Amino acid sequence: MVSPWRGVSLGLLAICLGFLQSASAQDTVPPPAQLQGSSVQSTIREGFRATAKAPVGESNSISAANAKGTAVGLPSELTRLYEKGGTPRSLEELRLLEAQHQRIASAAEACTVSVKIGPAEGCGVIITDTGFILTAAHVAMRPGKVAIVTLPGGRRVTATTHGMNRNVDAGLIKINANQNEGRPWPHASLGSSDHLVSGMWCVATGHPGGYSDRRGFVTRVGRILSVRKDALVTDCALIGGDSGGPLFDLAGKLIAIHSRIGNDVADNLHVPVVHYDLSWDRLVSSQAWGYLPGFKPVLGVSGNQTSNVAEIVSVTTGSPAADAGFLEHDIVEEFGDVMITDFESLKRAVADTMPGERAVVWVNRGGQRVKLFVEIGRAD
Amino acid sequence: MPEMIYHHFRQSLPLGRTAFGHVIAVVLLIGCVHVPTTAVAQDDDIPQWLGEQLGIGVTHRRDNGEMTSLVQPIANAVAKSVVQVVCGGRPVALGTIVSSDGYVITKRSELTGDPILIRLSDDRQLSARVAAVRRSCDLALLHVDSGQNYQPIEWSSDVPPVGSFLISPGRGAKTIGIGVVSVLARPVEHQGRLGVYLEDDTNGFARIGRVHPDSGAALAGLERNDRIVAIDGQSKLDASSCQKTLGGKYAGESVRLTIDRSGSILEVDAMIREFNLMQESENDSKVNGPRNIRLSGFELAIQHDTVLDPDECGGPVLDSKGKVIGVNIARAGRVVSYALPASLVIPEMQSMLEEARAAAR
């Protein structure tokens, strides 16, 4: 039997929804010096668990949504649609469903943010009053990068990328401290992705095509078409720029993060929030690991693992490295914004890129420093 | 072996925003075909997620048969007021009947200049002619030549909030799409371009410095260093007056250019196209699907996420109470359809009706 991930790609043209771009070399900062205390982390983990058990129907007024999250009260008439999904039984029920969508969209505005890292642009959703932002791994790119976060209304704040589980495309960012005059950040209410079944209604928000002050955030409504371990498929239509944006259930709780699309307008994939919960400690401590199946970054060189320099032993014909002009015996000294000390560090630097990203590479060729431009390739 | 396609391009955003570059990585898996649902559904070895993907997933779409049946009464109520517009033998748009004496509004830029037929809800086909147009909002008023007692649509000034369901009925009460309001009505700036970068030559005439690939200018064979002598017969143009004249043209419109190419004079017709479409990659084009020729330049438009075909614009858009809140005006992308709100349509329609009736007198 094929692995589920093979199945995911069946008939699918998958497209990363962020606007990815090569590193511009100036945008690194030292890794986040001081991580939040474990009390904050456990609060969030508990948040994940508590919301999973919370009874339906606990109401929040819309005006309080900013401070209390995006959860909105669920009329008892919608319990069936909330728990099992399906078609409303009457136009009256359809209008109740619609009123729910309206409330969720309204509450989602404050925490749906635009995330810009270098020239790349995607979305994110604030999930704590301390400013943690869930996004897609391919939007956050690498730990320790500077992100410009645009809030509704156009206000910009700076943030730092933390960890990323590239196996599922889950990424974490945190707004840098002291940018909100001591006030809590408006944030989404965390939901659980455990109870989801196909046929459920959901609301997607984001900034398709990038942030636009004249337009603002964009709402879409659809249904879950398929629940997989590593992704939800919905007919909430997404496109480039939406990556990292939030998907809410009918109670206004965050259930997934936008990731990628296929050609068909009903092929929209989202990362279930459970993956952020499972890896929370690693994400907070800025670890990055794995690669999205089908999106493994490749350079196309081999080297000597035991050598104390990153000397190229061979260059694969037709590889990105060959195209960039790498030669045997080149010693790689810098890759993008990373100093290379040995072949292992080169491997790590490549693993930290996304296919399609362009990087400037400095090599030492017979005593001369030579600058190469490489576009990272892709393997399964 | 999966095929790999990468695209790098720069896109300049509308006024006041900085350009940004982006790369979209695309994985195309070859050799995957649709497996018949029945063949899979009976196979117990197929895991649930695959079954869902191949079968149940399709039936759960928000605009599936059950949902369409649910909103059928809403579509039925306006059935007699929705027509199909056939131009040159091809369906090009829907139309909305706005008066009992046979006036219909539709999307102007889809009319080709060929003879127009209107297909009514009862399948009758009647010839029609253009009675008035409003370029600024891409509306045309058609008049059906024969018959009386048409059923005009009843407009509503309700403004459904973001997240509200919208129902788009086609001809004969067939629901063509269900979606929601994505963004409240806002101006959608016009992005039609000829696709030339102009400079003044030493004599103060407009000269082409560069031709944008995939533009109407490129298709018309314009070249670098061509001097623009006249646009639609209007001559003595420098670069800025050229830009001003061309800037008044919407996507789908064509201009006649008089060109001086190294001393010889040429007459060339070129089409104005949407700038975004000129810039997009093949994969952008795939994921966006078919769109109208004109996607921009609307004084006010509601953005919604109903999946429409380009020939399904011009018809009414209804809210969940059955109120007619606007007219679909463009399929603009994978996540974007535009509808003109009734607050804009009503005055434009009234002024077109006055103009048409005055001319008919």
Q: What is the pLDDT of residues B138-186, one digit of tens each?
A: 999 999 988 779 999 999 999 999 999 999 999 999 999 999 999 999 9
Query: Chain A residues with CB inside 8 Å of B310's CB?
Result: none
Q: Name which of B203, B100, B202 is nearest B143 in CA terms.
A: B100
Region A96-121 average pLDDT: 95
Residue in A91, A237, A380 closest to B334 by CB: A237
Q: Are B300 and B341 in contact (CB under 8 A)?
A: yes
Number of other residues whose CB lies within 10 A of the CB of residue B269: 10
Region B230-234 average pLDDT: 91
Tell me what pLDDT residue A244 has.
Answer: 97
Least confident range from A6-10, A118-122, A188-192, B161-165: namely: A6-10
Token couple for A329: 């015996």
pLDDT band (50, 70, 90) for residue B29: very low
Region A350-375 average pLDDT: 93
Look at residue B238 and tell me whether its pLDDT is greater than 50.
yes
DSSP one-letter code for A109: G
The tally of CA atoms less than 13 A away on the side-chain side of residue A241 is 19
> Which pLDDT tens digit goes with each residue over B46-102?
455 555 555 544 578 999 999 999 999 999 999 999 999 999 999 999 999 999 999
Integer CA distances (angstroms), A77 to A96, A189, A358, in order: 8, 22, 53
Tell me what pLDDT residue B282 has.
Answer: 86
For chain A, what is the mean pLDDT?
84
- Given an 8 Å threshold on Cβ–Cβ distance, is A228 in contact with B61? no
Query: Chain B residues with CB inside 8 Å of A218's CB?
Result: 182-183, 303, 335
Region A9-18 average pLDDT: 40
Query: Chain A residues with CB inside 8 Å of B33's CB?
Result: 11
Look at residue A53 and tell me whether its pLDDT is greater than 70.
no
pLDDT band (50, 70, 90) for residue A119: confident
Integer CA distances (angstroms), A72 to A64, A105, A251, A252, in order: 10, 10, 6, 5
Separation CA A190–CA A177 (nearest Å): 22
Look at residue B274 and tell me whether its pLDDT is greater than 70.
yes
Q: Are B259 and B74 in contact (CB under 8 A)?
A: no
User: From the centroid of its chain, how far is CA B113?
Assistant: 17
> Which pLDDT tens digit goes with each residue over A228-280?
989 999 999 999 999 999 999 999 999 999 999 999 999 999 999 999 999 99
- Type of residue found at A366: G
Tell me what pLDDT residue B53 has.
Answer: 56
Separation CA B98–CA B155 (nearest Å): 9
Least confident range from A82-91, A334-343, B11-20, B240-249: namely: B11-20
pLDDT band (50, 70, 90) for residue A68: confident
Interface contacts A/B by beta carbons within 8 Å: 216
Cα-based angle A27, A28, A32 (whole degrees, multiple of 5):
135
Length of chain B: 361
> Which pLDDT tens digit goes with each residue over B171-230?
999 999 999 999 999 999 999 999 999 999 888 889 999 999 999 999 999 999 999 999
User: From the centroid of its chain, how far is CA B76?
Assistant: 25
Interface contact A120, partner B, CB < 8 A:
yes
pLDDT band (50, 70, 90) for residue A44: low
Separation CA B248–CA A75 (nearest Å): 51
Tell me what pLDDT residue A295 has.
Answer: 85
pTM of the model: 0.84
Tell me what pLDDT residue B48 has.
Answer: 53
Secondary structure class of B98 (helix, strand, coil)? coil
From chain B residues 152-211, the ones with a CB under 8 A of any chain A CB are 161-165, 179-183, 186-187
Tell me what pLDDT residue B185 has.
Answer: 98
Look at residue A224 and tell me whether its pLDDT is greater than 50.
yes
- Type of residue found at A292: L
Length of chain A: 380
pLDDT band (50, 70, 90) for residue A45: low
Residues β-bridged to residue A315: A301
Separation CA A223–CA A236 (nearest Å): 7
Query: Chain A residues with CB inside 8 Å of B308's CB?
Result: none
Select the more confidently predicted residue: A274 or A46.
Answer: A274
Number of other residues whose CB lies within 10 A of the CB of residue B209: 13
Tell me what pLDDT residue A55 has.
Answer: 40
